[in-house]
Chains A and B, each alone.
Chain A
Amino acid sequence: MPEHVILQFDAPTMTIVLNDPDRRNALSHDVFDDFEQCLDDVDTAIDSESCHVLRIRGEGPAFCAGFDLGAMADGALPSFLERLGAICRRLRHLDAIVVAEVHGPALAGGCALVSACDIVHAGPDAAFGYPVHRLGISPAVSLATLVPGTSPGAARALTLSGESLDADAAVGIGLAAAAHSDRSALSDAVTTLCDRLGAMDAATLRATKRFQNELDGTIDAEVFARSLAASLATADSEEFRARIEAVMHSRRSG
Chain B
Amino acid sequence: MNTIALGTELVTLTTDGAIATLTLNRPDARNALSLEMIAAMEEALEKIEAGINGVRVVILAGAGKGFCAGMDLKAVQDDPILMGDMLRRLAAVSRRIRRLDVPTIARVQGAAIGGGCGLMVVCDFSFTHPEAKLGYPEVDLGICPAVVAPFLVKRIGAGRARAMLLAGGTMGGESGFAAGLATHLVPMDELESATTAFAERLAKGGPEAISATKRWLNELDGSLDDEQLAKGAEISAELIQTEDAQARLRTLFKR
Contacts and interface: CB of A to CB of B under 8 A. Distances in A.
Interface in A213-228: 214-216
A119 B162 CA distance: 7
A106 to B, nearest CB: 15
Given A207-B235, A207-B239, A119 B163 contact: yes
Interface stretch (B136-144, B186-194, B211-219): B136-144
B167 A196 contact: yes
Interface residues of A, number: 27
A37 to B, nearest CB: 26
Contacts of A207: 144, 146, 235, 238-239
A97 B144 CA distance: 14
Given A208-B139, A216-B158, A193 B149 contact: no
B161 A212 contact: yes
Interface string B126-166: 00000000000011101111100110010011111111011
Contact of A204 (B153, B156, B239): B239
B242 interface: yes
User: Which of B139, B157, B166 gathers the greatest number of chain A CB atoms within 10 Å?
Assistant: B166
Interface of chain B, main secondary structure:
helix
In this complex, the interface size class of chain B, counting residues with CB under 8 Å from chain A, is 20 to 34
Contact of B245 (A148, A174, A196, A204): A204
A9 interface: no
A204 B139 contact: yes
Q: Of residues A97, A174, A205, A215, which shows the largest number of chain B Cβ atoms within 10 Å of its Cβ?
A: A215
B8 interface: no
Interface of B: 138-140, 142-146, 149-150, 153, 156-163, 165-169, 228, 231-232, 235, 238-239, 242, 244-245, 248
26 contacts: A119-B162, A119-B163, A150-B157, A150-B159, A174-B156, A174-B159, A174-B160, A175-B159, A196-B140, A196-B168, A200-B140, A201-B245, A203-B242, A204-B139, A204-B144, A205-B139, A207-B144, A207-B146, A207-B239, A208-B144, A211-B149, A211-B232, A212-B158, A215-B150, A215-B158, A216-B158
